[in-house]
Amino acid sequence: MRRAGPIDSPTDPFASVPLPLPGKKPKVEGLPPGVSRDIFGPNGQPEQPKQEPPAGLPPVAPPPQPWPMQGPPQPPASFRPSEPPPPPPGYDPDPPRRRILPTLLLVIVVLGLLAYLVPAVVMSGSVLRGTRVADIDIGGLTVTQAADKLRAELSARLDRPVTVSMAGREETIQPDEAGLELDVVATIGEAPSGFPTPVEVWRALTGTTDLQPKISIDAAQLARTVEGLAESVDKAPKEGRVVFSGLRPRAVLPQEGLLLDRDSAVKAISTAFLRSQANVALNMVPAKPKTTEETVRRAFAEARRAVAAPITLTKDGKTAQLTPAAIAAHLVYVPDDNGVLKPQFDAEKALEPIQDKLVDLAKLPQNATFAIENGKPALVPGRQGRGVDAGRLATDITGVLVKRDSRTIAVSLAAVKPELTTAEAAGLGIKEMVAEFTTPFDCCQARATNIQRMAQQLDGTIVQPRKTFSFNETLGEPTAELGYLEAPQVVGGRMVNVMGGGGSQFATTLYNAVFLGGYENAEHTPMDYYAPRYPEGRDVTVLYPRRDFKWVNNSQYGVLIKAVATPTSVTVTLWSTKRYDKIEPVVSERRDVTAFRRQTSGQPGCLPTTGQPGFTVDVTRVFYDGDKEVKRDKKVTTKYRPQAQLTCLATSGD
């Protein structure tokens, strides 16, 4: 039996040739001429002759036919999604309203940005429009223009004085006396400028920005001004005391005082200037003395007994007598902390004219000192000695003052060491003049007398190495008992009469000698006003006990101070060992020059002044070794206020 041949698998209908579209005949190209397409049968396919299979074999399978398909295979109808109906004619899938809204929003944003950026660009680089400082419009100006406008207009407003009333009198305080200054830089710094923010642009277009001017007050300057006011109105309490007119004691009853409240005055004046107040009342506070009338009466009774008889001093058969006049001249009654008047006897001064009656002169101590001979300091030796114990004598005398009899005191001697020995003086290196300075003054005035008295007190003083010299401690309080007079002196910017007036000139003379000698300044207050008789930036004001001048002898040598006053000048010379070949000041040009005012006054006790401009100056001290600069101090800046030209009007009582 013949093996059947292989059976062809049906052809993959999807891999067959492309099928003709429904209703169309297949396109057959390339037929020879004269050959009709009908030869391919009704479906366009050639008919195949039927072949009978050989006997005994199964019939031959017909040739594979392609599956009739139209397009890609489709899922069953049950699984086929329903198709949406076709849109009606004229349908627009993007409605106009949805297209307009984004466009409108974009237009609004662009317009908003333009509404901000256009004015912002115009305003940038200047002070924000609508900005005002104390009602002065500086909007739209550059920072420099705004600063100039404030200086021109606001400074004029601030340059208004304040009238203060105190103790029944009135005084006018000028802005410069209060140290009032307009800080233009700080004020402009508060003003919005640069590229403005949207909020600032809106505020500039619809409103204003109000700023307060930045004003500063120099508290130290104002305190000095208040001090000057106080000197003119203060009535210090007067302590009760017992004084002697010759041999007759006289009771002086205590009196209550009235003082300017300095702290509250500084605050009140500051507030008045900052708030543009034209008038302000200053408080006066009562000041009670420590003593009472009763304590004065008891001391008066004791003083009468104190000078009723002399006091006899004895030593080894030698006697000396303190007469009632000598007792009265050196006896004072001073209040203690409880206000009780206690006797105080100056035994050292009382002994000076009589001590040689009790002790041989050769035994008395003597301080070493220096005398200027032929332009050189010559050492005058000192010596240790023995003398009456003054401290013990003072205590003994206060015990016998109330006695009418037994007024004899046996004094005791004590070894007395001189304050400066010969060896100590010789080792101080006082051998040459290191500095000298002179200032002039008008003759025959009270201040001239005071300057001459100070020169007498200071002459011969020796400042030890590394020690600090205090003007007030060395000279003490200027009193009538010491020969001082009341004289005019500038205190806190005002010319007032003070006891010892003229002390500032003497202190200035000493200051300049110290400056040129190369010594260290420890404490000094410049004068309020510039006086042409002194170097610029090198003056001093003193007022006992509140304002002092101190300097340090920062050398290894002692310094001898010699002071000489003539009727028209005072000279201070310092003797020691030179440390530098030359010391010179470097003075800057004047700056911030301010013109002075002209005023008149009819107040009692008016003291006329000549006008002086105000200015600021720097002074630097330079030290030389030969011609080579070895060092220089830090510059010292002095700011002088303008001193008004004050003319005193004649009063009916003149």
- 494 pairs with which residues across the strands? 491
Query: For residue 152, is pLDDT > 60?
Result: yes
Q: What pLDDT, on a 0 to 100 scale, did the predictor assign at position 48?
A: 54
pLDDT over 60 (residue 177): yes
457 and 550 fall within a common domain: yes
10 Å CB burial of residue 457 (0-12, 13-18, 19+) is middle
- As a whole number, the mean pLDDT across the chain is 81
Tokens coding 59: 């019939």
* Cα–Cα separations (whole angstroms), residue 351 to 2, 358, 388, 414: 179, 10, 8, 14
Q: What is the reported pLDDT for 24? A: 54
Q: Please check whether residues 198 and 267 belong to one and the same domain.
A: yes
Three-state DSSP state, 314: strand
User: Does residue 451 share a domain with residue 538?
Assistant: yes
Instruction: Report residue 518 CA to chain centroid gap.
Output: 28
Query: Is residue 237 included in any domain, yes or no?
Result: yes
The residues, ordered by sequence, that sit 6+ positions from 595 with a Cβ below 8 Å of its Cβ are 613, 642
What does the H/E/C string look like for 334-381? Answer: EECCCCCEEEEECHHHHHCCCHHHCCCHHHCCECCEEEEECCEEEEEC
Phi, psi of 409 (to 5 degrees): -125, 130
> 147 and 188: one domain?
yes
Report pLDDT digits (tens) over 100-140: 877 777 777 777 666 666 666 666 656 767 787 766 777 77
Helix (H) or strand (E) holding 126: none
**Hey, which bits of 401-491 come out as E strands?**
408-410, 413-416, 432-440, 461-463, 468-470, 486-491
Same domain? For 397 and 440 the reply is no
Q: Is 585 exposed, middle or buried (0-12, 13-18, 19+ CB in 10 A)?
A: middle
pLDDT digits (tens, 9 = 90+) for 235-289: 889 888 888 887 888 888 999 999 999 889 988 888 888 777 889 999 999 999 9
Backbone angles phi, psi at 30, to 5 degrees: 85, 25
Per-residue model confidence (pLDDT) at position 654: 39
Does one domain contain both 216 and 333?
Answer: no
* Cα–Cα distance list, 483 to 249, 376, 452 (Å): 21, 31, 10
Do residues 261 and 119 share a domain? yes
* CA–CA gap between residue 273 and residue 496 (Å, rounded): 24
Say whether pLDDT at 3 is over 50: no
Residue 158 to residue 126: CA distance in whole angstroms: 25
Within this chain, do residues 331 and 445 fall inside the same structural domain, yes or no?
A: no
Provide the residue range defining the domain that includes 476.
432-648
Does residue 517 have a pLDDT over 90?
yes
Contact yes or no for 471/595 (Cβ under 8 A): no
409-435 burial, b at 16+ Cβ within 10 Å, e below that, comes to bebeeeebebebbbebbeebebbebbb
Q: How confident is the model at residue 1 (pLDDT cuts 50, 70, 90)?
A: very low
Tell me the average pLDDT across 191-220: 69
Q: Are residues 399 and 438 in the same domain?
A: no
Tell me if 621 sits within 8 A of 585, measured CB to CB.
yes
Q: At what angle do helices 96-123 and 198-206 cross, to 10 degrees?
A: 70
Type of residue numbered 193: S
Q: Name the pTM for this structure.
A: 0.60
Give the Cα separation of 574 and 593 in Å (integer). Answer: 35
Query: Is there a domain that residue 653 lies in?
Result: no
Among 340-349, 578-587, 605-614, the least confident range: 605-614
Assigned domain for 29 exists:
no
Q: Write the CB contacts of 477 (distance below 8 Å, at least 6 apart in sequence).
A: 544, 545
**Gyration radius of the chain over CA positions:** 56
In a domain, 316, yes or no: yes
Residue 652 has pLDDT above 50, yes or no: no
Highest mean pLDDT of the ranges 214-228, 432-446, 639-653: 432-446
Residues 452 and 318 both lie in one domain: no
Q: Do both 618 and 514 map to the same domain? A: yes
Domain boundary residue, one of 237, 257, 289 = 289
- Classify residue 407: in a domain, yes or no: yes
CATH at 234: 3.10.20.800
**Is the same domain home to 396 and 457?**
no
Classify burial at 116, counting beta carbons within 10 Å of its beta carbon; exposed 0-12, middle 13-18, buried 19 or more.
Answer: middle
Domain assignment present for residue 33? The answer is no
The residue among 223, 254, 289 that closes a domain is 289
CA 140 – CA 464 distance, rounded (Å): 67
Residues in the chain, overall count: 654
Let me know: does 138 contact 146? Beta carbons within 8 Å. yes
Give the pLDDT of residue 353.
84
Q: How confident is the model at residue 27 (pLDDT cuts 50, 70, 90)?
A: low
Cβ atoms of 625 and 578 within 8 Å: the answer is no
The domain tally of the chain equals: 3
Dist. CA 89–CA 484, nearest whole Å: 125
Average pLDDT for residues 524-537, to the nearest whole number? 92
- Higher pLDDT: 26 or 121? It is 121
CA distances from 461 to 478, 541, 558 (A): 18, 21, 10
The least confident of 242-246, 310-314, 649-653 is 649-653
Digit-coded pLDDT (tens) for 447-485: 999 999 999 999 999 999 999 999 999 998 898 878 899
24 within a domain of the structure (yes/no): no
Which pLDDT score is estimated for 601?
79
**Cis peptide, bond prior to residue 95, ω within 30 of zero:** no
pLDDT at 50 over 70: no
Report, as an integer, the average pLDDT of 501-528: 95
Least confident piece of the model among 112-121, 367-376, 411-420, 639-648: 112-121
Instruction: Report how far residue 392's alpha carbon sits from residue 416's, in angstroms, rounded to the nearest whole number.
Output: 13
- End-of-domain residue from the set 416, 442, 473: 416
The one-character DSSP state at 13 is: G
How far apart (Å, rounded) are the C-alpha atoms in residues 18 and 396?
155
Whether 7 shows a pLDDT value over 50: the answer reads no
User: DSSP string spanning 499-554?
Assistant: ETTTHHHHHHHHHHHHHHHTPEEEE----SS--TTS-TT-----BTTTB--EEE--
Give pLDDT, residue 32. Answer: 58
Label residue 213 by pLDDT band (50, 70, 90): confident
Residue 31, pLDDT > 70, answer no
Q: Is residue 218 part of a domain?
A: yes
Nearest to 542 by CA among 491, 587, 593, 474: 491
Reported as half-sphere exposure (CB side, CA atoms, 13 A), residue 24 has a value of 9
